[in-house]
Amino acid sequence: MTPQKQRDLPLSGIKVLEMGQLIAGPFATKLLGEFGADVIKVEPPKTGDPLRKWRIVQDGTSLWWHVQSRNKRSIALDLKSEDGQQIVRQLAAEADIVVENFSPGRMEKWGLGYDVLSRNNPGLIMVRVSGFGQTGPYRDKPGFGVIGEAMGGLRYLTGQLGEPSVRVGVSIGDSLSALYAVIGSLLALRERSRSGIGQVVDVALYESVFAMMESLIPEFDATGQVRQPSGSALPGITPSNAYKCADGSYVLIAGNGDGIFKRLMELIGRPDMAENPEYEHNDDRSKHVDEIDQVIESWTRTRSRDQVLVALDQARVPAGFPYTAEDIVNDPHYAARQMIQTITLPSGGTLKVPGVLPKLSATPGRVGGAGPELGEHTGEILSGLSVSDDLSKKILGSN
């Protein structure tokens, strides 16, 4: 693929000021930056975003950083100081979008609330990501992604019935919030194109998770049933589970479509179940889920994982297995769709990173290079503002 030029990208010309740290806010701006937005990331001097030191650190920088912060420019400012606040106001005056994920009220405490930042920029869009939203009785409670996952209903459903809930292995609450932040940004940009007026986009972590909970609430309201943890199964959708193979590994089989179920039963030597009217539709099959799962696993346990997957693929039954990082990197489909790309680090080494999505046919996004050094673009950004030489030197000297 030819490297995408900045002017060719769909968000080219959009200026984004990132005031957040760690995951939710910065992940949202990462997505905007991949499609051409000019993202200026504000970080505290000396320490920077704590994500710089999260998980595996090499050459002084988190490997995660090079995914989360690509396509951004870094400016180091002390937001507790009047000087830092003054620079933010100037940057916001020229911005299209400000993204922040501090505790509600923190921006106002610094004199950087929406009423202040939009005074000279009525078209400004401020995206505010927090644990519980900008209003309500829980507004001021601290809330990270795991708390949002718990309150949103997801954490209760993960794991096995009767055992402690388990966490999804990634920060899914933060990432879902970031997606809603991007959706809100684009909706607000669309509205601004008609009215010329900006607005506040209020994203709560727990609500972002709650929005994914499918029929959880109407089922409770209509029947009084509280959905329970179900391990690897998908309750009420049959068959859809993990099944053990002869080599001790597991395959995931989604044979829940009516026609798919028939093909699956024919494949495993149970034409009687394929033609049984009690199993014809999903609602009926779900009454017999334990029996169906036992029949399927009695077949998978006599074959290796690869044998099972080949047979299911030939029968056009959706199936797979839980990929590790190694499986992903070595998979030809990931490679063909450019979902694993290689960047060059400041040290001169290379690093494999995830590609960009969604995939646009005419104006695809970009991976760019590594995440910026702390304050790497401070001087460059200040030079584009009406900042006195003394103030510029003072800010640069504090980095």
What CA–CA distance (Å, rounded) separates 329 from 279?
A: 39
| pLDDT above 90 coverage of the chain, percent | 87
Whole-model pTM? 0.92
Residue 7 pLDDT class (50, 70, 90 cuts):
low
CATH 3.40.50.10540 residue ranges of the chain are: 6-211+336-398
Decide if 396 contacts 382 (C-beta within 8 A).
yes
| pLDDT, average across residues 26-32 | 98
**Where would I find the beta strands (DSSP E) of 150-257?**
200-204, 240-244, 250-254
CATH code that applies to domain 240-244+250-320: 3.30.1540.10
Higher local confidence (pLDDT), 17 or 389: 17
| pLDDT, average across residues 102-112 | 97
Residue 5 pLDDT class (50, 70, 90 cuts):
low
* Residue 3 clears pLDDT 80, i.e. is over it: no
Closest CA to 119 of 99, 93, 95: 93
- State the pLDDT at residue 50: 96
CATH 3.30.1540.10 residue ranges of the chain are: 240-244+250-320
CA dist 209 to 59, 105, 131, 172, 232, Å? 35, 23, 11, 8, 19
* Residue 273 clears pLDDT 90, i.e. is over it: yes
pLDDT digits (tens, 9 = 90+) for 166-188: 888 899 999 999 999 999 999 99
| Enclosing H/E stretch for 40 | strand 38-43
What CA–CA distance (Å, rounded) separates 370 from 344?
A: 7
- Across the chain, mean pLDDT equals 94
* Residue 134 clears pLDDT 60, i.e. is over it: yes
- State the pLDDT at residue 388: 85
As a three-state string, the secondary structure of 225-284 is: CCCCCCCCCCCCCCCEEEEECCCCCEEEEECCCHHHHHHHHHHCCCHHHHHCHHHCCHHH
What CA–CA distance (Å, rounded) separates 351 from 61?
A: 13
pLDDT digits (tens, 9 = 90+) for 193-232: 999 999 999 999 999 999 999 999 999 999 999 999 988 8
Decide if 323 contacts 332 (C-beta within 8 A).
no
What CA–CA distance (Å, rounded) separates 130 from 25?
A: 9
The verdict on domain 6-211+336-398 having CATH code 2.60.40.10 is: no
pLDDT digits (tens, 9 = 90+) for 296-331: 999 999 999 999 999 999 999 999 999 999 999 999
pLDDT digits (tens, 9 = 90+) for 339-355: 999 999 998 999 999 99
State the DSSP code for 90. H
DSSP, collapsed to helix, strand or coil, labels residue 23 as coil
Closest CA to 370 of 385, 350, 386: 350
Rounded to 5°, the CA angle 237-240-244 comes to 155
| pLDDT above 70 coverage of the chain, percent | 98
Point out the catalytic residue in the list 174, 284, 306, 327.
174
First to last CA, the chain: 38
Closest CA to 74 of 47, 120, 106, 42: 42
Tokens encoding 292: 């169906």
**Does the annotation mark 174 as catalytic?**
yes
State the DSSP code for 241. E
* Residue 360 clears pLDDT 50, i.e. is over it: yes
